[in-house]
Amino acid sequence: MRLPTPATPAVSHRAANVRSSAIRDLLANARVPGMLSLAGGLPEPSTFPVELLAEAARRQVLEHRDVLQYAPTEGDPRLREHIAAYESVRQSRLVDPDHVLVTTGSQQALAMAAGVVADAGDTIAVPHPCYLGALQTFGAAGLVIHPVGTRDGQLDLDHLEAELVGGLSIPAMYVVANHGNPDGTRLNDATNRRLAVLAERFGFWLLEDDPYRELWFDDAPVAALGSHTANVLSLGSFSKTIAPGLRVGWIVAEGDARGALVRLKQAADLHTPALSQALIADLLDNRGWFVSHTDSLRALYASRRDAMADALHTTFGSRFHFTPPTGGMFAWGELEDVDTSALLAGALAQGVCFVPGAEFEAGGPSLGSWLRLSYATLSADQLHEGVRRVAAAVELLDADRESLVATS
């Protein structure tokens, strides 16, 4: 007698087609001893307010048993008030705490915002290059990606408008307001106003992501999109200003979108961990602390931007095409005659990692010779050493190519 072969089920088409995140995969590499990681946008751990958080955690658990119980889906009321106050300044209009929904980091904010504005098969416009966490979650939602390029450091809205007039139909467009990841683009007031006009004329949503807002080095940011239109879902995060491991982000939304977001959040994880929320709320009770804390973050990351720019200039000279960013965590540039995806393998062998430009492609021109280098996590000396290792890998790649040419 033969036993029947058990039928093993497959995974869903949707899940099979979700791409992996290069940055997440590189995180594992970053834990190899001796590896210098220029890959992830990991904040400098010494900036975490450890003493304040440790005492807040002890007190919250001891005195407020509620932080261990099931909690409201919308989020901690005290935290929502703090976020509403912050967003009121950001958007130059009064934001109601009732319109704030706390999320498990801004990655969840992105996933849920995408779910609320678009159905599988819909097209979403995104900047090219684009933050790859956004590309991943939009892909997972079955959305078609439509690239919007840049011109003179701003989104090319002439081109987008022509496409919209020509029949391009989008329920939503994703933008990063300040120090866009990877390319550092910062939307100015004229761009914001024009985005608002286009969104209202063609009836689409703007998903405005702004995780790097506080990390400006020269000029403070302009008023956000909510100041110009109601067709916007505003996404924020404490990952770059307080601590990413707590996973606290948010969305501001009104009307039907707010109700739909709450239902999606119920279905996704009921609510964001209550202790994480209470810790952030405790810190924000002291507004003076947040202001001076973000002041020191700006000073720290500006000095690292300088160190990175110096290392790149010294090491590569004019071979690395790059404009030093005016904020955020990333240097983004092009290495002449280098396939940066091929370079990565050699760089790992040299003990350094970065993210190749191809990972950020959103359907626009190839970014195969571009790369993103984070200056957030390492000291100035380590940044110099990291860039030196990248250069060593480039040399080996050049030598390989020359020997191939010689033998062919």
Site for a copy of itself in 94-123 (CB under 8 A): 103-105, 107-108, 111, 115-120, 122
Q: Which of 145, 264, 343, 362 binds a copy of itself (CB under 8 A)?
A: 264
299 binds a copy of itself (CB under 8 A): no
Structure tokens at 112: 């849920």
| Minimal distance, residue 387 CB to a copy of itself, in Å | 22
230 binds a copy of itself (CB under 8 A): yes
Binding track over 203-222 against a copy of itself, x by CB under 8 A: xxx-----------------
Q: Which helix (H) or strand (E) holds 107?
A: helix 105-117
Three-state DSSP class for residue 293: helix
Pairing type for strands 320-322 and 150-151 reads: unpaired
**Distance from C-alpha of 1 to C-alpha of 178, rounded to nearest angstrom:** 68
**Distance from C-alpha of 244 to C-alpha of 246, rounded to nearest angstrom:** 5
270 binds a copy of itself (CB under 8 A): yes
**Distance from C-alpha of 215 to C-alpha of 329, rounded to nearest angstrom:** 8
- Which residues does 73 contact at the CB level (< 8 Å), separation at least 6? 262, 265, 266, 270, 271
Q: In the window 321-340, what residues touch a copy of itself (CB under 8 A)?
A: none
Judged by beta carbon, residue 19 or residue 321, the one nearer a copy of itself is: 19
Q: In the window 46-75, what residues touch a copy of itself (CB under 8 A)?
A: 48, 50-51, 53-55, 57-62, 65-73
Q: In the window 9-38, what residues touch a copy of itself (CB under 8 A)?
A: 9-16, 18-21, 24, 27-28
Q: Which of 274, 373, 378, 393 binds a copy of itself (CB under 8 A)?
A: 274
- Which residues does 148 contact at the CB level (< 8 Å), separation at least 6? 125, 126, 127, 128, 155, 156, 157, 159, 160, 173
Q: In the window 128-167, what residues touch a copy of itself (CB under 8 A)?
A: 133, 136-137, 139-140
Q: Which of 2, 8, 33, 318 binds a copy of itself (CB under 8 A)?
A: 8
